[in-house]
Amino acid sequence: MTESTELDPEDRKIITLARSARARNGVAEGAAVRDETGRTYVAGTVELASLKLSALRTAVAMAVASGAESLEAAAVVTGAGQPTDEDLAAVRDLGGPDTPVLLAGPDGELRDTF
């Protein structure tokens, strides 16, 4: 586990954006990803009758739809203990096996990195 004081400012930024999305939309999770050019994509959990997506998968989908070719980092703010295998797979599909996924609690404090 990495201490939040050791976080790169750009990683702190995506955690803050993810936390804001979660609070603003009143959803279970907020997520943000940063692509290879430094652009960020922010999303919350999608819960429709016909479509259910985690915040992290939604953020990855937004990056892909916007033309991102890779990811530098991803962050998810959630009360859950860890990202799902599907969430990690989505990040790895676009970012590769070494793309860090930062897991933060609702308070914005980093809990773990995957």
pLDDT digits (tens, 9 = 90+) for 84-102: 999 999 999 999 999 999 9
Average pLDDT over residues 66-85: 96
Tokens of 40: 């960020």
Give SS3 for 90.
helix
- Report the candidate in 95, 93, 17, 30 with the shortest Cα–Cα distance to residue 56: 30
Single out the residue of 82, 90, 66, 77 nearest to residue 25, CA to CA.
77
Average pLDDT over residues 76-88: 95
Question: Does residue 5 surpass a pLDDT of 60?
Answer: no
- Condensed to tens digits (0 to 9), the pLDDT of residues 35-53 reads 999 999 999 999 999 999 9
